[in-house]
Structure 1
Amino acid sequence: MSSYISRILKAPSASKRLISNLIQREGKLNSLLHRLGLQRQGGVKAAPGPRPISTTQVQKSALIEDEELATGIQKREMLLAKQGCEDPWGFTKIIRRGTGRENDPTVVPSAFDARLVGCLCLDDRLPKWMWIEKDEGPKRCECGHFFVLKNVPPV
């Protein structure tokens, strides 16, 4: 048993912590550790005690701003919001229907080749959804209203 304890004492501090826990227990193991000189009189621990706590001051590092970490579209959105544009994609703006005739259709802006448009026809509660394609010409809704896609630059 003493060779086992001597090997533990030569091991890293994690094993020494195990010995310090064993010292506190009562019984045959406690008396063996006492005979080996690993425990002092009065239950006070010997050398393999806990490690001291470092008291050196640590500098608090500053947090990195989101703008420094962002890239791509997210960064462009943050820069536009900083300039005062809260809705760069135009989601909150409702496009009002114009005259809607074939020679004067309602213009729908899009940065893509197609866009989904909902038309509130007459007294209907739900919109009629349709895809408007680029270079397709004016598209007619069920109510007779015409829509056309206008290409705009992306954000």
Structure 2
Amino acid sequence: MASLALRTAAFLNIKKAISRPVVRCMATAKEGGGIPETFEHATGLEKKELEAIRAGNLDPFDLQVKHCAPGTRDAPIEVPSVFEKRVVGCICEEEMTHVNWFNLYSGDPQRCDCGHWFQLKKREPIQ
């Protein structure tokens, strides 16, 4: 009998905890309610990225594939980077089924195995 009373009391306590009204709030709700847009929710680096995209820079981190003419020693392909090195992939010929990857370091231009020249171009990070 005591165990039945104990189980009933425990069940009632759990039921009370579950059935309590929950207060919900949204930090930045739109006028008239609703879910805020992505830009309103974004913070930090994501917000800076969205601001750059709104300003017209569709590739703020320079991650898109760039197709360009083969670089020479005198006029290498400039690869922008915030860091002192960057991984670069070179598709040496159009018919190739693989990519030649190598580390590009700041300083002098570097040559891929196929003969294309690349140079790291220092750029400022997104502020």
TM-score by length of 1: 0.51
Residues 58-110 of structure 1: per-residue CA shift (max 9 Å, x gap): xx866555444432211111222333433322333514134x22222221111
In the TM superposition, 1:81-92 aligns within 5 A as 81-92=53-64
Q: Could you say what the CA RMSD is over the residues aligned between the two structures, in angstroms?
A: 3.3
Residues 98-154 of structure 1: per-residue CA shift (max 9 Å, x gap): 4x222222211112211111111234221111110112x111111122111011122
The correspondence for 2:111, drawn from 140, 151, 155, is 140
More helix by proportion, 1 or 2? Answer: 1
- Alpha-carbon distance between aligned partners in 1 of 2:77 and 2:36, rounded to the nearest angstrom: 46
In the TM superposition, 1:103-114 aligns within 5 A as 103-114=74-85
The correspondence for 1:72, drawn from 34, 44, 54, is 44
TM-score by length of 2: 0.60
Moved over 6 A (4+): none
Equivalent residues, number: 101
Larger RCO (CA under 8 A, 6+ residues apart): 2
Distance 1:74 1:140, change over 3 A: same
In the TM superposition, 1:1-150 aligns within 5 A as 63-98=35-70, 100-122=71-93, 123-135=95-107, 137-150=108-121
Asked whether the 8 Å contact 1:114–1:131 carries over to 2, the reply is yes
Identity, in percent, stands at: 33
> Larger Rg: 1 or 2?
1
